[in-house]
Amino acid sequence: MRVTQVVPSLDVGGAERMAALLSVSLRDLGHQVEVVSLYRPSGSWIEEELRAADVPVSFLGKGPGFDARVVARLTLLLRRQRPEVVHTHLHGLRYALPCLPVLGACFVHTLHNLAEREVERPGRWLQHIAFRAGVAPVAIGDAVADSVLVEYGRPPAAAIANGIRLDDYAVSTATRDAVREALGLARGEFTFLVAGRLGEQKNHRLLVEAMGHTGGTLLVAGDGPLRSALEVQAAPLGRRVRFLGVRRDVPALLAAADALVLASSWEGNPLVVMEAMAAGRPVVATAVGCVPELLVDGTGILVRPGDAGSLRGAMLTLERDPGAAAAMGRRGREHAARRFDSRTMAQAYADLYRRLRDSGGALGRTSPAGAV
């Protein structure tokens, strides 16, 4: 099939990474895939990976605020591409929706977060219209699917879990030693990693607060509007909290770390939890969104959101018993091998596309897919 993925930008973020990996995986399955970014190129490593994989990418040069010119540019581009499926992510839907009456394509939109959190209220109103008009919503986990039903009064067309490239996270002991040495981590220094945008959602403030009462080291990968405030908060902890900025070598950082920690106030289906499990690392995370669906069978520790004491206690549990932490990591790796392969995700989307196409694209004739 001919598929066009529409994303606001290709800056580094979970939704952007998922859309890019889905595009490459669909291409590997034999489909013709193109990616459209509403903004200009940012030079991110996601753009580099798409170019390296020979996935065509177009940029529409969106300006600040709502840019009506992008609607016209996108319409012209889609008419030239003639996709059978237009698949939107995040705010891409609001620009692609006006194209719906003029294209003979199926429209799919993935919700990357809980429905009430993904976009602001006017955006949710627009999504309500879109889903009634025949755009097929896809949830990335059961918790997101439940939120779609509550917010929009109808179940998603499918629930399809995110996936990752499992082979990227098979790292050796030699790699771990080399990365730890490069980061200046001492032998036996228990190290946590948190990876994600430094914004309100991830609640790094709570994590830094909890770190003040543990003996470990925290590596913070990512950037965002709260970085300066977090650096001030973490300053009394010295080298025990290290801000690494945006990194493309998450597999190497997971190799160096002993555990992943995530203090999010809300989540969709975070890729970094899957990545940690694939790397054989235990996870401490707040029980929000789809995280409890990932951390099953003793692969990590779930804590109450917003509770620094609960978070600190879980982190100390791993620090004080590295053997138990390693056992959690091994169980996580086994679970990831069974559930998180990106090829499984891509095949589930391809099956959904095909059902929509064969049914004329009518959402009402598409039964939910239990792919999670």
Tens-binned pLDDT, residue by residue, of the chain (372 aa): 999 999 999 998 889 999 999 999 999 999 999 999 999 999 999 999 999 999 999 999 999 888 999 999 999 999 999 999 999 999 999 999 998 887 889 999 999 999 999 888 888 999 999 999 999 999 999 999 999 999 999 999 999 999 999 999 988 889 899 999 999 999 889 999 999 999 999 999 999 999 988 899 999 999 999 999 999 999 999 999 999 999 989 999 999 999 999 999 999 999 999 999 999 999 999 999 999 999 998 999 999 999 999 999 999 999 999 999 999 999 999 999 999 999 999 999 999 999 999 987 633 333 333 343
The yes or no reply on domain 2-163+341-365 and CATH 3.40.640.10 is no
Distances, alpha carbon 67 to alpha carbons 16, 41, 83, 95, 169, in Å:
20, 17, 23, 9, 40
Spell out the domain ranges in the chain.
2-163+341-365, 167-339
What's the CATH number of domain 167-339, 3.40.50.2000, 3.40.50.300, 3.30.470.10, 3.30.465.10? Answer: 3.40.50.2000
Output Rg (C-alpha) for the chain, integer angstroms.
Answer: 21
Q: How far is CA 285 from the centre of its chain?
A: 15
**Sheet strands side by side (includes 57-59):** 57-59, 32-37, 2-7, 85-89, 106-111, 136-139, 158-159
